Amino acid sequence: MINRMLEQYRAQTKCLVALDSIIFGFDGDELKLLLVKRGVEVYDGTWSLMGGWLQDNEAPEHAASRILFELTGIQDVYLEQLYVFGKPDRDPIERTVSVSYFALINVADYDDVISHTYEAQWFSIHELPTLLFDHADMVKKAIERLRYKATQHPIGFELLPDKFTIPQLQKLYEAIFDFKFDKRNFSRKILSTGLLIKLEEKQKGFSKKGAYLYRVDNEKYVKFFDSFLNFIPNGFLD
């Protein structure tokens, strides 16, 4: 019985397993993508996601974190599994299945951390260079997932200072959706969630009156995170 099982295993086609991570960053103004040069790029102008191979003693999620750290110096980032890319010809060199992950981080939090050993660099998602293999498809899928999650949960607060204004929050969601929201509708929708606490302080230096600062009600944020559907309705704001 065991020998028959072993024969079945040996008869199967072997393939490599890769991990590719899409790291989005918000710099206070626009959405960016972190890319590197890994040394496997076909042309000088080709860039890569955070990619590498699964080792035989690793779980995929651990491998993805290891690869991200080796290529950029970034660690302790929550990577969410995105999709499996496995077209037979996706890698012209060897049959390879890629398990992809994605994350959204604050660019400023990692300015002093990023290693340039592999030329790690932030690019605007509107001005991306040529990407390796099917990495452009991975980025497209990750943007779709990011926007879907943003319509369901208040995922963006981690990218803002502890105290922030409604215009700052609006700019973040405009960057995620690549869409200009109506100021009054956005403010009304956000404040109706009950997740924000208005402070007596104002942000100064941007206008004569200044904009009121808010902070997140952490108790409500934790309590309602998983059940807070339609944070921003599908179709953006009504």
230 residue type, one letter: N
Q: What is residue 48's DSSP assignment? A: B
pLDDT given for residue 1 in this prediction: 72
Give the mean pLDDT of 51-73: 97
To the question of domain 154-224 being in CATH 1.10.10.10, the answer is: yes
The topology (CATH level 3) of 2-150 is Nucleoside Triphosphate Pyrophosphohydrolase (3.90.79)
Nearest to 98 by CA among 40, 24, 16: 16
For residue 215, pLDDT beyond 90: yes
What secondary structure, in 3-state letters, does 108-161 show?
HHHCCCCCCCCCCEEEECCCCCEECCCHHHHHHHHHHHHHHHHHHCCHHHHHCC
C-beta of residue 33 within 8 angstroms of C-beta of residue 24: yes
**144-198 confidence digits (pLDDT tens):** 999 998 888 888 888 888 899 999 999 999 999 999 999 999 999 889 888 899 9
What is the arithmetic mean of pLDDT over 215-227? Answer: 82
Exposure string for 98-136, b = 16+ CB within 10 A, e = fewer: bbbbbbbbbbeebeeebeeebebbbeeeeeeeebbbbbe
* Main-chain phi, psi angles of 174, to 5 degrees: -65, -35
> How many CB atoms within 10 Å of residue 97?
16
Decide if 230 contacts 154 (C-beta within 8 A). Answer: no
Q: Which residue has the higher pLDDT, 238 or 205?
A: 205
Residue 227 has pLDDT above 80, yes or no: no
Domain residues of the chain, as ranges? 2-150, 154-224
What's the CA gap between 17 and 63, in Å, rounded? Answer: 11
Read off the pLDDT of each residue in 192-211 and give the average, rounded to a whole number: 80
The H or E element containing residue 185 is helix 183-192
pLDDT in tens, 66-88: 999 999 999 999 999 999 999 99
The pLDDT value recorded for residue 233 is 56
Q: What percent of the chain has pLDDT over 70?
A: 92
Taking only the tens place, the pLDDT of each residue in 80-128 is 999 999 999 999 889 999 999 999 999 999 989 999 999 999 999 999 9
Q: Is 80 exceeded by the pLDDT of residue 229? A: no
| pTM for this entry | 0.89
CA–CA separation, 38 vs 90, rounded Å? 17
User: Residue 41, SS3?
Assistant: coil
Greater confidence, 201 or 223? 201
Per-residue pLDDT at 151: 85
In this predicted structure, the answer to whether residue 207 has a pLDDT above a threshold of 60 is no
pLDDT on residue 84? 98
The answer for residues whose C-beta is within 8 angstroms of residue 122's C-beta and 6 or more apart is 25, 27, 32, 33, 34, 35, 107
Mean pLDDT confidence for 11-31: 94
